[in-house]
Chain A
Amino acid sequence: MLSRVAERVYWLGRFLERTENTARLILVRHNAILDLPREVQADWEQVLQVMGSEQHFAELGATANEKNIISYVFGERENPSSIISSLTSARENMRTTREILPSEAWERINSLYLSVARRSQKDLPQSARHAVLNNIIQACQQVTGLLSGAMNHDAAYQFVSMGRNLERADMSTRIIDSASAGLMGDSADVSPFRNVLWISVLQSLSAYQMYRLNVQRNVSPADVLKFLFQSTVFPRSVAHCLHEIETCIASLPDHKPALQVVAHVLHELNATDCSALAGESLHEFIDELQIHIEAVHHAIAKTWFRHDEK
């Protein structure tokens, strides 16, 4: 398989996952805000924090209100992490690797792109949000399903899968980080709703139901963190994503150095005592974890994408 193609399908996996995660993020935020009492200010800026786009949003000069933030995260092409931008990149990577991917997957992503591109020229009012975002999430899952069910599970598939899992791990850390910033503080007006907000963190990661099944206790910060960081069964936990990446890496040629990097990250992650993480220490832990995830990305890129650096 060509290195260039490997790199493109890897990014296809990442952008597809990013599209889905962003849609999920907005949808969950939308639902959580509907649950909050009216006197608590609906905090849409948190969505910008998760995506690391606060500064860029401010530079564009729009007021940080619900309508503008949603437009920015949904349909703003100037925003490199918006749904339309991620989808454009996913589609472009797929368009340039069409020859190795099942054509149904291309047709699905292309029609999703066309519908989002049309939709993104308008606002996303409350009444339409659920239908539009849910459609995006479902279409992304269909594409993932088509790739899993209709594509050879060869090297190309491993690269898609690595991209997906790396992006997923990254997004999980971002969501926890941003939520914890609000949750760990002592701000009095939030504390009564802490439970609701932790539940919304779990929901952002489609984790609530699985958490209940697995943990079978009420929602507590230490349990939630342990579940989201270290669960070996929940497919969006950071450890699970890294395990998946590890399996993919092991199936590829010349994998030794990359495998060492990911094994090291997993070891560090699993050795952490989640009940000791709170406030500043949690934030520092997440920072470090993100650096580790970035290192995994570089190891993959160096091993299989860049011939000049070998």
Chain B
Amino acid sequence: MAEAKIKSPQPYTRARVRSTIDWTKYDPGEFYDEIISAPGRARPATRSLVAFMRKQTIKHLVSRQQAADLAIQEMGITFTVYSEGQNIDRSWPMDIIPRIIPLQEWRVLEKGLIQRLTALNMFIDDIYNKQKILKDKVVPAEIINSSPDFLKQCIGAHPRHGVWSHICGSDLVRDGDGTVYVLEDNLRVPSGVSYMLENRAISKRVLPQLFERNSILPVADYPSQLFDMLASLSPRRVNHPEIVVMTPGIFNSAYFEHAYLAQRMGAELVEGADLVVGSDDKVYMKTIRGLAPVDVIYRRINDDFLDPEVFRPDSTLGTPGLFRAWRKGNVGLANAPGAGVADDKVIYTFVPAIIKYYLDEDPIIPNVPSFLCVNEQHRKHVLKNLATMVVKPANESGGYGMLIGPASTKKERALFTDLINKNPRNYMAQPALKLSTAPTLCGNNIEPRHLDLRPFILQGKHHYVTPGGLTRVALRKGSLVVNSSQGGGSKDTWIVDTEAG
């Protein structure tokens, strides 16, 4: 550097000014930005990131992004997309500019997430047992009775600790005024946690300086927290319960994650055909030493496919007799079958009431105002305001079958009017939020892109919340769809303690 200055100070300085990152040009407009409070001004927790980037040239950032992409490719961090009749293994898209949340704010969100999952688990346990909440008419019984996710086979079951959803991924979004809402809960087989962990590994590789200068909560603890939680579900009181991760196999979009978690926990990764239920109604796995008992199954396979004796008889992914073994308390299943009854998008609208009912507390994190199309008044409101609303089918995930009002065409709105009128129970709608943004490297520019956050919450004997979670970002300009199957990317999420030295 010194040498360059001596040789030709003028051109060097000019080139430098021109190509470093100019935050005053970055403008998120009407949206709340996670990093910048006003053009050129960092938020308190993001000061060090913004200052660091101010000293970087775009070229430098792009080369770091390339280093990250290469690392992702070589580490084989992939997700699988089903497209044009075949499965394609794609590299995981990660933007290197992190998303930052101040610790003080996070502490509140963490409490809110635990509150929410605690209440939801009490709700599920009640629904499959005494149904007090229905008798007290806090939740209408017909909503449960008409729900395809209410599994009659589960009535009367008592999983350990009264917990049905042990691993929950709740999607959080921030609106224009800065309020954080829960957009939805995923109580069945939420995925993404391995990408959260890998994103951190990558950003430590490519941005080590920032980790030195900031006090960022580590996330690497998750696999051991998961292991402990699963161990707390073991029906056998042994020191080393046999825990397995059950995957539908290599063609599942989240196979990478299944293998990853099994590896990090030191658990066996099993497929349905590796397991067998004995005449004693206990679960065994086929090993090179013969049959070995299994205590807890972290299953990453949907209820439908779990056990062909009870659910879909054509399923070749599951294990016959598994449900029976679980009902008899001979094996722990995480998450328990039937837990999906509470992440129905219609039930979602009752969650604040559910929290109040079981915990006698007000929800710490609010719900997005929601309109149930089954309710006539609500339906009218939705149909009238389609252009400003987001319409979701009650039981789909992955961002499929949605209508995003502000981005929709007249034809699409007509189609949804039809769909809603035909099957109102199946739809709910919310006003389109002004999803917050964060600076994202797009080609050779830094531009605002919309994002959400999926923290993961564990509940067994105890609770645990990942510090941060998986930030998903819509890479297309103006887009609100963050799902990786639909062109979304991701960011590392930093919970930054601004009060630490």
A111 neighbours in B (Cβ, 8 Å): 73-74
**Dominant SS among interface residues on chain B:** mixed
Please give me the residue from chain A that is nearest to B244 by CB atom: A2
Is B75 located at the chain interface by the 8 A CB criterion? yes
Is B145 located at the chain interface by the 8 A CB criterion? no
Within 8 A of A (CB), among B252-268: 259-260, 262-263, 267-268
Q: Are B76 and A4 in contact, with the CB atoms below 8 A?
A: no
Known: A99-B262, A100-B263, A110-B74. A4 touches B273 (CB 8 A): yes
Q: Mark B60-78, 1 if CB is under 8 A from A, else 0.
A: 0000000000000111100
B259 neighbours in A (Cβ, 8 Å): 95-96, 98-99
A253 neighbours in B (Cβ, 8 Å): 288-290
B290 neighbours in A (Cβ, 8 Å): 253-254
B76 neighbours in A (Cβ, 8 Å): 95, 98, 106-107, 110
Is B124 located at the chain interface by the 8 A CB criterion? no
Q: Are B250 and A307 in contact, with the CB atoms below 8 A?
A: no
Please give me the residue from chain B that is nearest to A94 by CB atom: B76
Q: In the complex, A220→B442 CA distance in Å?
A: 67
Is A215 located at the chain interface by the 8 A CB criterion? no
Q: Are B74 and A6 in contact, with the CB atoms below 8 A?
A: no
Known: A4-B271, A99-B269. A304 touches B263 (CB 8 A): no
Interface size on B, residues (CB 8 A): 23
A5 neighbours in B (Cβ, 8 Å): 268-269
Is B270 located at the chain interface by the 8 A CB criterion? yes
Is B412 located at the chain interface by the 8 A CB criterion? no
Q: In the complex, A75→B259 CA distance in Å?
A: 29
Is B286 located at the chain interface by the 8 A CB criterion? yes
A155 neighbours in B (Cβ, 8 Å): 288
Q: Mark A137-172, 1 if CB is under 8 A from B, else 0.
A: 000000000000000000100000000000000000
Q: In the complex, A2→B269 CA distance in Å?
A: 9
Q: Are A307 and B286 in contact, with the CB atoms below 8 A?
A: yes
Q: Mark A221-255, 1 if CB is under 8 A from B, else 0.
A: 00000000000000000000000000000001110
A99 neighbours in B (Cβ, 8 Å): 245, 259-260, 262-263, 267-269
Contact of A3 among B73, B250, B267, B287 (CB under 8 A): B287
Q: In the complex, A279→B267 CA distance in Å?
A: 54
Contact of A96 among B250, B267, B268, B289 (CB under 8 A): B250
Is B361 located at the chain interface by the 8 A CB criterion? no
B270 neighbours in A (Cβ, 8 Å): 2
| Closest chain B CB from A121 CB (angstroms) | 17
Q: Are A252 and B263 in contact, with the CB atoms below 8 A?
A: no
Is A114 located at the chain interface by the 8 A CB criterion? yes
Please give me the residue from chain B that is nearest to A100 by CB atom: B263
Please give me the residue from chain B that is nearest to A4 by CB atom: B274
Is B382 located at the chain interface by the 8 A CB criterion? no
Q: Mark B264-296, 1 if CB is under 8 A from A, else 0.
A: 000111110110000000000111111000000
Interface size on A, residues (CB 8 A): 24
Please give me the residue from chain B that is nearest to A92 by CB atom: B250
Q: Are A95 and B250 in contact, with the CB atoms below 8 A?
A: yes
A110 neighbours in B (Cβ, 8 Å): 73-76
Contact of B286 among A2, A98, A103, A252 (CB under 8 A): A2
A106 neighbours in B (Cβ, 8 Å): 76
B262 neighbours in A (Cβ, 8 Å): 99
Q: In the complex, A254→B289 CA distance in Å?
A: 7
| Closest chain B CB from A143 CB (angstroms) | 14
Q: Are B268 and A2 in contact, with the CB atoms below 8 A?
A: yes
Is A1 located at the chain interface by the 8 A CB criterion? yes
A103 neighbours in B (Cβ, 8 Å): 75, 263
Known: A98-B263, A99-B263, A100-B263. A3 touches B288 (CB 8 A): yes
Please give me the residue from chain B that is nearest to A155 by CB atom: B288
Known: A2-B268, A96-B259. A252 touches B273 (CB 8 A): no
Please give me the residue from chain A that is nearest to B285 by CB atom: A2
B287 neighbours in A (Cβ, 8 Å): 1-3
Within 8 A of A (CB), among B71-125: 73-76
A2 neighbours in B (Cβ, 8 Å): 268, 270, 274, 285-288
Q: In the complex, A160→B73 CA distance in Å?
A: 25
Q: In the complex, A165→B501 CA distance in Å?
A: 57
Q: In the complex, A307→B290 CA distance in Å?
A: 8
Q: In the complex, A103→B73 CA distance in Å?
A: 13
Please give me the residue from chain A that is nearest to B270 by CB atom: A2
B75 neighbours in A (Cβ, 8 Å): 103, 107, 110
Q: Mark A282-310, 1 if CB is under 8 A from B, else 0.
A: 00000000000000000000001001000
Q: In the complex, A5→B75 CA distance in Å?
A: 21
| Closest chain A CB from B12 CB (angstroms) | 37
Q: In the complex, A95→B250 CA distance in Å?
A: 9
Q: In the complex, A253→B263 CA distance in Å?
A: 24
Within 8 A of A (CB), among B374-417: none
Please give me the residue from chain B that is nearest to A111 by CB atom: B74
Q: Are A114 and B73 in contact, with the CB atoms below 8 A?
A: yes
B residues contacting A by CB (< 8 A) are: 73-76, 245, 250, 259-260, 262-263, 267-271, 273-274, 285-290
29 pairs from A and B in contact (CB 8 Å cutoff): A1-B289, A2-B268, A2-B270, A2-B274, A2-B286, A3-B274, A3-B286, A3-B288, A4-B271, A4-B273, A4-B274, A4-B286, A6-B288, A95-B250, A95-B259, A96-B250, A98-B76, A98-B259, A99-B262, A103-B75, A107-B74, A107-B76, A110-B75, A110-B76, A111-B73, A252-B288, A253-B289, A254-B289, A307-B286
10 extra interface residue pairs, beta carbon distance < 8 Å, beyond A95-B250, A95-B259, A155-B288: A2-B268, A4-B271, A6-B288, A92-B250, A99-B267, A99-B269, A106-B76, A107-B74, A107-B76, A304-B288
